[in-house]
A and B are shown apart, each in its own frame.
Chain A
Amino acid sequence: MIKQKELMGNSDLDDYTAEAFPRGEVLQVKSGLYSLLGRLFEEEVDLPLLELLRGELADSLAEAGVILSSDIAEGDPVQVLSALAEEYTGLFVQPGCVSPYRSVFETGRMFQPPCDEAAAAYKKAGWEFQHRLSGEFPDHMGVMLTFISKLYSAEADAVQKGDEARADQWRDMRETFVVDQIGPWGLGWCHRARILAQQQFYASILALAEEVLMDEIKELASSDQFQELVTLNRRPPVKLDYNADFRKASGI
């Protein structure tokens, strides 16, 4: 179901994975990108991250369309962090938020089968989901993006060590994960959260995430499949499922 593509030497690669870069480096870059996005969604911005956003990351973020407003760029760190935390909580945590869990997106309820699917994927790849605060589940968008980052990084390591076979395994794992577990909801989620974001910062991060995911999925899915995923993300009626297991629902 996943249309496999060679990462390297493909003409429609993204700007930030220009051909000039060797495979390993491209992968590291991607890993970095996802780790940043993952971190931004996983939890609130803290002081070290704010310093990074203001310093080392500022230019490249600006190029990617994430411009820190002057109050975030220059304001008192304590106040800035507090304002960002408030926005984070309003957008992703408190009742009425755009729930960052795939279970909620797809079933309207927390802790449903998508949770198990995400946890299983992490486990298969050798990671385990560990919550820090209460109310956290493995199918969190931030955790999923972090997972992609880890997979990219692992792939890069394998490439660096010249273990192509291992690298391909990591790649397959990542591509399956992206299409199966992010594809059906990631774009829609980013889109809706962006609309509701009140601060430019989170709106632009969400826009960036949407773009990155869009590219990633376009890359991996056939055009039919992509259309299907886009439709899923708009949440029209769920596709009728003729799986024989469901016959039992009528007691046959």
Chain B
Amino acid sequence: MAVGLQAEPSFGVPGKKRWAMVIDLRRCIGCMACVCADKAEFDVPLGVWRTTVKVSDTGVYPKVKKHFMPRLCNHCDNPPCVRNCPTEATYKHEDGFVLQRYERCISCRTCIAACPYNARHVLPNNRSRVKIGGVVDKCTFCQHRVEKGLVPACVQTCLGRARIFGDINDTTSEVARLVATQTVTVLKADKGTKPQVYYIKPDRTIVDQVLATPTSAAAKSDAEAFYRHNNGSKFYAGVL
């Protein structure tokens, strides 16, 4: 067993659940319903995102395309954030969720540095409804809904049904079948994190571009405003 409270990798282990998400990029239309559903579900403050959708254009007029790339925590089977958390604040649930215990978090940001996906953020101290801030937060795969038999909020509202959620260890589940039958990719497989968010039709996206800096002046000025506002203390994960 790894450091801290990391559950053993459970991908493919019989008798274990391993929640996973498949994102079918052929079906994502960049409607941003997931972003808003998630913000509402968790009272996510402005300036941080548990999930977001990156938009990019490629090509030269008149052959131009748009690409939408939903992003969230990969709930890695071998999560580096968990290994690197000095206080055991972040841990891996045995069903595969990578979660955060606020009361143990000292906001040292080690996990943020360790996460290759920029999926973690420090909560601002000011929120509308939920009074917790100053600690690291992240997508939970809506564990509070999933444990009661519901899909995550972003999956629930996804207009294109681009987000599919389920137990990948159950070979009859839709996620398992999609992963078995479609060409899928995961982000930064070379990091050994065993991410559990699978993307269908990766040719529609440019995986490396996902974390690229903004290129248009409009996006740059948004990012600049963001960094100005946060004194450069946060990573801009907004829509570009």
- Which residues from chain A sit less than 8 Å from chain B, CB to CB? 107-109, 112, 237-238, 240-242, 244, 246-252
Contact = CB atoms under 8 A, between A and B. Distances in A.
Contacts, number: 53
Contact of B132 (A107, A109, A112, A249): A249
18 contacts: A109-B128, A112-B129, A237-B124, A238-B125, A238-B131, A241-B131, A241-B132, A244-B103, A246-B131, A247-B101, A249-B130, A250-B99, A250-B101, A250-B102, A250-B140, A251-B140, A252-B99, A252-B101
Contacts of B213: none
Interface string B142-168: 111001000000000000000000000
Contacts of A251: 97, 99, 140, 142-144, 147
Contacts of A248: 144
Contacts of A238: 125-127, 131, 133
B133 A247 contact: no
Contacts of B126: 237-238
B145 to A, nearest CB: 9
A241 B124 CA distance: 13
Nearest to B91: A252
A108 B99 contact: no
A108 B128 contact: yes
A249 B97 CA distance: 14
A107 B128 contact: yes
Contact of B129 (A107, A240, A241, A242): A107
Contacts of A112: 129
B51 interface: no
Contacts of B142: 251
A249 B128 contact: no
A113 to B, nearest CB: 9
B219 to A, nearest CB: 28
Interface in B92-132: 97, 99-103, 124-132
Contacts of A246: 102, 130-132
B66 to A, nearest CB: 33
B46 to A, nearest CB: 11
Instruction: List 6 tightest A-B contacts by C-beta distance, closest first.
Output: A237-B125, A251-B143, A251-B140, A250-B100, A241-B131, A251-B144
Contacts of A247: 101-103
Given A249-B102, A251-B97, A251-B99, A240 B133 contact: yes
Contacts of A108: 128
Given A250-B140, A251-B140, A237 B133 contact: yes
Contacts of B42: 249
B135 interface: yes
